[in-house]
Structure 1
């Protein structure tokens, strides 16, 4: 597009939201028009260590959408807030780009219907890291040949949902190409509840939550006399921003809700 894309950021003072604000301010093809946070007040640029940008942080998302008329809303908040934020965004004709996890399948279905009624695009993406997307794609491909698989995901102890959205999305991609296969000994018994992790389509997802951990995931495949491990490690939130940048621009080209950033990669 020749004109700047007008962007609103919800969760603008959070750890991911701050990186989004920085990225938008540094891209001349984007224009920050609204920054929304529970911590109201102050210039959004100053709040993230950039030059003042004239956009004041406000707490009322709906009012910000009405008054600033953005093209896109980027939301990194909480599972409790994000479904409502996405709905508000679509209702006001603003394309949502959602990085918050915790959406249920019925939420995605209802929001897609709303997008189609409004004739606008949207994106819900459990992960915007290009490396993580490649990890998911490679894992799905490997599961065709090595169907015995388990997922271990690692996050900091402040993460609210378990398993992570990335691990669930990975499991969905594996399940789409792999027939359900219940793994382990058929007489297996957990002597401590949860020892084998969460059950998904015959395999297991294990969630580790520890201080000092950022975000990692490994997908482990077992075969006769061999194992394969596909692992992705994130070290900094800035690593997600190239993906968010692509998503903001690509979402202008679709007319429905897309689930998964991998669909925006050529």
Structure 2
């Protein structure tokens, strides 16, 4: 069976280096391109803390895709770059696997149509952690029976988007099975703007940004005389790699863009 040829954008970033390492360690995958405008012309394997692999980091995604004949592009960059990178990949017929958050619904719809036109698969996943996906599924199930809910998500202080993509996806899944219910006292007033968090379909999402925090999310349900808390904690970027690996292998098997890793979990 032919190896799946993989290009990695943001290869010099902390997530990008983990992705490069994952690809190099899987015999069914082949790293054919690594892209990072700020990493310089360095061997991608050395950049990831492994031995030399023969793939030099390229500053230009267009040049890399033109030369590499990749099957899949994995993107863990920043919201400002990810949309353009995804468009670029699709234009070359390369299947995007995107872990960067911040896409608008209109952008997702556009990318879905472009993937269909090209006859390729694609995936945008706010979270590749299998534990986080289970947390979201359990939260959606619980909301059928305990509709009073709030989400608190915690990330490091350098994260650009708030709320996180995982929190938004959790809220979307809850809203699919829970009718809008405006919670709290109807006469409630914020004495400090934003104290009650962001409003979504009747409930609130709170974003904590602090140094020393990696990635956690808690979904809290309230009922008469009881509360239920569903929490997921990530401690290391390597924890996302099994999900990314599954995504790379699944995305070559279907056509169209899928939003959410939960849709391709076995």
Tell me the secondary structure at the aligned position of residue 7 of structure 1.
Answer: strand
What stretches of structure 1 move > 2 A for 4+ residues in a row? none
Tell me the secondary structure at the aligned position of residue 177 of structure 2.
Answer: coil
For 1:206 and 1:217, the matched residues in 2 are separated by 10
Match of 2:117 in 1: 117
Deviation at 1:40, TM superposition (A): 2.2
Whether 1:166 and 2:178 are equivalent positions in the alignment is no
For 1:40 and 1:107, the matched residues in 2 are separated by 30
Match of 1:21 in 2: 20
Q: How do residues 45-124 of structure 1 correspond to structure 2 at under 5 angstroms?
A: 45-124=45-124
Match of 1:212 in 2: 212
For 2:122 and 2:97, the matched residues in 1 are separated by 6
For 2:68 and 2:224, the matched residues in 1 are separated by 59
Q: TM-score, normalised by structure 1?
A: 0.99
Match of 1:11 in 2: 10
Structure 2 runs not aligned, ≥5 long: none
Tell me the secondary structure at the aligned position of residue 192 of structure 1.
Answer: coil
Q: How do residues 129-168 of structure 1 correspond to structure 2 at under 5 angstroms?
A: 129-168=129-168
Q: How do residues 161-200 of structure 1 correspond to structure 2 at under 5 angstroms?
A: 161-200=161-200
Deviation at 1:124, TM superposition (A): 0.2
For 2:35 and 2:98, the matched residues in 1 are separated by 14
Q: TM-score, normalised by structure 2?
A: 0.99
Match of 1:37 in 2: 36
For 1:179 and 1:10, the matched residues in 2 are separated by 39
